[in-house]
């Protein structure tokens, strides 16, 4: 999905993040640890604000979603049931020269000519053979060359070929004169020295073949061939858009192997392999396994959701793009439980299906899964708009049938236009009843809900209507490769009012969202100072709702106690309600610039007018400066909080 490359911009953002305390490399003083990041003072505030916006939009402001806060380590059987133990893996390939590990499906496609090295011989061995037979190195090499090696390499075959070659070069009698033992030992040495798997190097257009030889030499040297003399096939292969070569040196990569991304740990002081546990790779599974407890302990009724924010861990093959793909990250996930379409049909007679332009503003009781899925896409889009991520920076990727997990009915990725390409911010999947059914099966505990309205609707059916309903469901399931027996069992429970709810899952990454808003906020502005010098200043244009600090308060001068006292009093009042900063160091211009880089949307300056030096009209007023256009206005101190609160919350 990568589209654009603006690495310099990303480098500037990474550097600003460190300089201003948004994001630091984890364990930096020990050289860092790949895939782990810490949030500094401003970053921690930013992340907290993002968490709050999600929490409020997805739970607090809704009546149909409740929260959960589950543990990171859970019963390992959960990950077997969910499929993570068996299938949560990425394909991994290693460079055969540098051993660098790649995620096979993320290797940048390469084109060029593949040079095939059949083998390599230690140069000493060549000289040795040459001197034994009184020949030049070239002759020996040509014997060992492609014609010989491309054949089946049995000692008998090679021995025979050598004799033939010696005869060609020195004549029959000379060939007969070379003692058998000499030829055999030479051949044995030769075979053991160079029977090494063939190796390919991709030569990019315009590069000399010698550059590929350097890579091949390194390959053979790493396998114990000293000063290798390379034997290269005459056949060259044209390669187009291949992921089988290391983009950095052209070396062939190993065949991709699946690599499970879950971090393993062990429970207890006397732990053995039987006590293995995993750090959760997603927060979602805790929601499924606590589903029954939530239903039993609250008054929720399907359709309803359970939301959770928390850490997840994935041993990513190649963490990359700053925090975008990390090994420890935070997810904000909602599992929204809905009735199966068959239940909706029984109760309402039909199921409202999705069509372009359908009204998604208010959920309806006759909605099927498709409407719910579209509804959540619309809800999440509105959420992003509310924190400044409008349609100009978002995109959508509707997964095709081939991309979908086997249990998923639909999945859309909400993408953000990052400087390194348009990439996934959030996935919204319609997961059917896969998860709850799996946990029901593996735990042996029922995870169905009972729906009185459904049972009442079923009771009203005549025998013929029941039979027709079951036949219809069987037909439909059959079309979706599900067995008629399973359909009959499902109908039997449904007609008694029981079903396993289906799920719509909007799953967002908090760190990706933080990175998105950081890259979106980053703006460079040309400023001219008092002496006419031009300089570039950075302004972080965060939406005020998510800005780490909402307001900064300054006394015009720090050596005027009356100004300082008034400014501190304002700060003390504001900081109880909104994240505020106090700054009295340097010129006002410098202080504005500092706050612009931190992304603070408002600055308040207490000056001599605030003290009443120009009369009562301006007394107890301050300058309120707006970050994005630099405009300033005079505001009464008593009005400040009332002005700012609605803008930042």
Question: Which residues of this chain interact with ligand GAP, rule CB under 6 A?
Answer: 282, 284, 314, 316, 325-326, 329, 331, 333, 424-427, 505, 507-509, 511-512
φ/ψ (deg, to 5) at 498: -110, 145
Q: How far is the CB of 261 from ligand GAP (least distance, A)?
A: 9
- The alpha helices in 107-208, defined as continuous H runs, are 123-133, 137-144, 146-149, 155-170, 172-177, 180-194
Residue written as token pair 């029922």: 446
Q: How far is the CB of 416 from ligand GAP (least distance, A)?
A: 9
Q: How far is the CB of 142 from ligand GAP (least distance, A)?
A: 53
Q: Which is nearer to ligand GAP, 202 or 286 (CB)?
A: 286
Q: Which is nearer to ligand GAP, 94 or 333 (CB)?
A: 333
Write the DSSP assignment of 216-228 as a string of letters: HHHHHHTTT-SSE
Q: Which is nearer to ligand GAP, 323 or 621 (CB)?
A: 323
What is the C-alpha separation between 641 and 631, in angstroms, rounded? 19
Q: How far is the CB of 347 from ligand GAP (least distance, A)?
A: 29
CB-nearest residue to ligand GAP? 509
Write the DSSP assignment of 332-388 as a string of letters: EEEEEEE--HHHHHHHHSS-BPP-TT---SS--TTB-HHHHHHHHHHHHHHHHHHTT
Q: How far is the CB of 424 from ligand GAP (least distance, A)?
A: 5
Residue written as token pair 């000063």: 227
Q: How far is the CB of 510 from ligand GAP (least distance, A)?
A: 8
CA atoms within 13 A on the CB side of 142: 9
Q: Which is nearer to ligand GAP, 91 or 145 (CB)?
A: 91
Question: Cβ atoms within 10 A of the Cβ of 201, count?
Answer: 29
Q: Which is nearer to ligand GAP, 342 or 505 (CB)?
A: 505
What is the C-alpha separation between 324 and 512, in angstroms, rounded? 5
Reduce the DSSP state of residue 401 to 3 states and report it.
coil
Q: Which of 282, 315, 264 is nearest to 405 (CA)?
A: 282
Q: What helix, strand, coil percent values describe the chain, rounded to 5?
A: 40, 25, 35
What is the C-alpha separation between 457 and 465, in angstroms, rounded? 12
Q: How far is the CB of 381 from ligand GAP (least distance, A)?
A: 15
Q: Which is nearer to ligand GAP, 509 or 555 (CB)?
A: 509
Q: How far is the CB of 364 from ligand GAP (least distance, A)?
A: 26
Q: Which is nearer to ligand GAP, 429 or 648 (CB)?
A: 429
Q: Which is nearer to ligand GAP, 212 or 287 (CB)?
A: 287
10 Å CB burial of residue 647 (0-12, 13-18, 19+) is middle
Q: How far is the CB of 161 from ligand GAP (least distance, A)?
A: 54
CB under 8 Å to 358, separation ≥6 — which residues? 352, 371, 374
Q: Which is nearer to ligand GAP, 83 or 386 (CB)?
A: 83
């Amino acid at each position: 999905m990568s589209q654009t490359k603006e690495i310099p911009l990303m480098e500037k953002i990474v550097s600003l993040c460190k300089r201003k305390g948004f994001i630091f490399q984890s364990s930096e003083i020990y050289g860092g640890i790949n895939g782990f990041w810490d949030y500094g003072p401003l970053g921690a505030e930013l992340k907290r604000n993002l968490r709050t916006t999600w929490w409020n939009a997805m739970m607090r402001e809704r009546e149909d979603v409740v929260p959960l806060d589950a543990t990171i380590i859970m019963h390992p059987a959960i990950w077997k049931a969910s499929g993570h133990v068996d299938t949560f893996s990425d394909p991994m390939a290693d460079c055969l020269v540098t051993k660098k590990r790649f995620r096979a499906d993320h290797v940048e496609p390469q084109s060029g000519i593949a040079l095939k090295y059949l083998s390599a011989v230690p140069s000493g061995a060549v000289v040795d053979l040459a001197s034994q037979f009184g020949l030049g190195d070239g002759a020996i090499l040509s014997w060992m060359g492609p014609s010989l090696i491309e054949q089946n390499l049995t000692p008998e075959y090679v021995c025979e070929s050598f004799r033939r070659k010696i005869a060609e070069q020195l004549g029959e009698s000379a060939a007969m004169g070379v003692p058998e033992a000499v030829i055999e030992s030479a051949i044995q040495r030769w075979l053991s020295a160079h029977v090494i798997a063939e190796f390919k190097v991709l030569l990019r257009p315009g590069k000399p073949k010698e550059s590929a030889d350097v890579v091949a030499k390194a390959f053979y040297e790493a396998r114990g061939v000293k000063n290798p003399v390379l034997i290269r096939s005459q056949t060259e292969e044209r390669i187009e858009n291949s992921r089988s070569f290391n983009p950095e040196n052209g070396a062939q990569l190993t065949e991709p192997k699946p690599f499970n991304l879950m971090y393993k740990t062990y429970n207890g002081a006397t732990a053995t392999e039987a006590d293995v546990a995993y750090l959760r790779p997603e927060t979602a599974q805790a929601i499924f396994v606590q589903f029954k407890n939530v239903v039993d302990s609250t008054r929720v009724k399907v359709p309803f959701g359970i939301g959770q924010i928390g850490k997840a861990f994935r041993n990513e093959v190649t963490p990359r793009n700053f925090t975008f793909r990390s090994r420890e990250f935070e997810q904000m996930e909602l599992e929204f439980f809905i009735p199966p379409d068959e239940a909706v049909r029984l109760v309402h007679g039909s199921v409202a299906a999705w069509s372009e332009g359908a009204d998604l503003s208010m959920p309806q009781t006759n909605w099927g899964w498709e409407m719910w899925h579209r509804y959540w896409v619309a809800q999440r889009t509105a959420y992003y708009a509310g924190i400044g991520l409008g349609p100009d920076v978002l995109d959508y990727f509707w997964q095709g049938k081939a991309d979908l997990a086997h249990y998923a009915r639909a999945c859309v990725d909400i993408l953000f236009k990052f400087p390194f390409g348009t990439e996934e911010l959030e996935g919204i999947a319609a997961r059917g009843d896969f998860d709850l059914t799996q946990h029901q099966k593996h735990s042996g505990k029922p995870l169905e809900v009972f729906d009185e309205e459904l049972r009442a609707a079923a009771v009203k059916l005549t025998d013929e209507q029941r039979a027709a309903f079951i036949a219809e469901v069987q037909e439909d399931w059959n079309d979706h490769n599900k067995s008629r027996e399973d359909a009959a069992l499902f109908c039997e429970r449904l007609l008694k009012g029981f079903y396993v709810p289906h799920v719509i899952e909007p799953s967002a990454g908090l760190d990706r969202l933080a990175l998105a808003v950081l890259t979106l906020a980053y703006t460079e502005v040309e400023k001219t100072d008092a002496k006419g010098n031009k300089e570039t200043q950075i302004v972080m244009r965060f939406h005020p709702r998510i800005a780490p600090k909402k307001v900064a308060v300054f006394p015009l001068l720090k050596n005027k106690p009356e100004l300082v006292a008034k400014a501190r009093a304002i700060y003390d009042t504001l900081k109880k309600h909104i994240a505020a900063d106090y700054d009295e160091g340097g010129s006002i211009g410098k202080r504005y610039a500092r706050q612009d880089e931190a992304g603070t949307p408002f600055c308040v300056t207490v000056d001599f007018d605030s003290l009443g030096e120009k009369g009562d009209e301006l007394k107890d007023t301050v300058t309120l400066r707006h970050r994005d256009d630099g405009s300033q206005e005079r505001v009464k101190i008593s009005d400040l909080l009332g002005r700012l609160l609605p803008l930042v919350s």
